[in-house]
């Protein structure tokens, strides 16, 4: 009868427990761990050169991120450039049209996810390019300090042997453009020019002494008065011995001193 061998069985070889506690499904780690020299020890952590596959993959990812960032920055810069040129008032130029067209093409190619929104916005901009600004309503008031040449009215004539020119350009559209009469008396006056620009209905014209080119000489006999019919006129009185020169001054509001025109008088020339 055979007897059992009392020799000890060899110990079973066991693989070391993995360091991780949960499954590792990362594709980059999988490539890194299985990209060894092919000797079956790809999973062992041995000192040596890093995997070429891992470096290539990481570089590709970095390049994609950098390219995406560059594309986004280019689109932002292109949009800022187009907006700045729109603000500068060159929306009708061919250069801006080309820039906007290039921006649309770039957005369609590189940003498909948000392309619909951008195209809708840019189509509004493109439709507005080349359009003239809408004129103000007929009852609107022009900006302060601006004049409307179509409402300027000028009357020329003579008075007391002097040539007269009276014009008015009201900034307020409710003011009827009626030039004031110029009344010249005395001697030595050759010409008088009145350019009245009342900013409002409350404007009451007033004149200080007119000044010649040489500050030593002035003319104080020019003023706004009312004639026997109660109508406002510009009265100019020439005096014998008045220095021959061109005297000029600013018409101001008698209450606010706000400018509203000019007057010039030529003596003895």
More confident residue, 199 or 6: 199
In which element (H, E) is residue 232 found? strand 232-238
Angle at which helix 94-110 crosses helix 115-128, to 10 degrees, equals 170
Tell which wins on pLDDT, 146 or 186.
Answer: 186
CA dist list (Å): 149 to 82, 88, 226, 267: 35, 26, 28, 30
Q: Are 265 and 243 in contact (CB under 8 A)?
A: no
Residue 259: pLDDT band with limits 50, 70, 90: very high
**CB of 138 closer than 8 Å to CB of 151:** no
Choose between 56 and 186: higher pLDDT.
186
Which residues lie closer than 8 Å to 103 by C-beta, 6 or more apart?
A: 75, 78, 79, 82, 122
Checking if the pLDDT of 115 tops 80, the result is no
**pLDDT greater than 50 at residue 133:** no
Per-domain boundaries in the chain: 52-128, 150-267
76 by Cβ neighbours in 10 Å (0-12 / 13-18 / 19+) ranks as exposed
Q: What is the pLDDT of residues 96-109, one digit of tens each?
A: 566 666 666 666 56
The overall average pLDDT reported for the chain is 73
Tell me what pLDDT residue 222 has: 95
Binning pLDDT at 50, 70 and 90, where does residue 164 land? very high
Q: Are 125 and 92 in contact (CB under 8 A)?
A: no
pLDDT, tens digit (0-9, with 9 covering 90-100), for 50-77 = 444 456 656 666 666 666 667 777 777 7
């Amino acid at each position: 009868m055979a007897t059992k061998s009392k020799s000890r069985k060899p110990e079973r070889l066991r693989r070391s427990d993995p360091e991780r506690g949960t499954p590792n499904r990362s594709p980059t780690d999988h490539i890194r761990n299985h990209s060894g020299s092919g000797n079956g020890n790809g999973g062992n952590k041995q000192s040596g050169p890093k995997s070429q596959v891992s470096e290539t993959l990481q570089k590709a990812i970095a390049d994609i991120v950098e390219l995406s960032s560059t594309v986004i920055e280019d689109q932002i810069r292109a949009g800022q450039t187009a907006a700045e040129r729109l603000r500068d008032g060159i929306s009708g130029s061919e250069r801006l049209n080309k820039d906007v067209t290039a921006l649309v093409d770039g957005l369609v190619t590189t940003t498909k996810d948000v392309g619909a929104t951008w195209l809708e916005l840019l189509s509004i901009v493109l439709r507005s390019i080349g359009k003239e600004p809408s004129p103000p309503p007929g009852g609107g008031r022009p900006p302060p300090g601006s004049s409307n040449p179509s409402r300027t009215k000028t009357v020329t004539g003579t008075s007391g042997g002097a040539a007269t020119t009276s014009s008015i350009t009201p900034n307020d559209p409710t003011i009827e453009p009626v030039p004031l009469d110029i009344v010249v008396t005395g001697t030595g006056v050759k010409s008088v020019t009145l350019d009245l620009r009342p900013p409002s209905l409350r404007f009451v014209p007033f004149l200080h002494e007119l000044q010649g080119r040489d500050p030593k000489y002035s003319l104080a006999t020019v003023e706004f008065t009312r004639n026997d019919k109660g109508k406002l006129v510009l009265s100019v009185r020439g005096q014998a011995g008045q220095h021959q020169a061109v005297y000029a001054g600013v018409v101001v509001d008698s209450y606010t001193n706000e400018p509203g025109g000019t007057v010039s008088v030529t003596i003895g020339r």
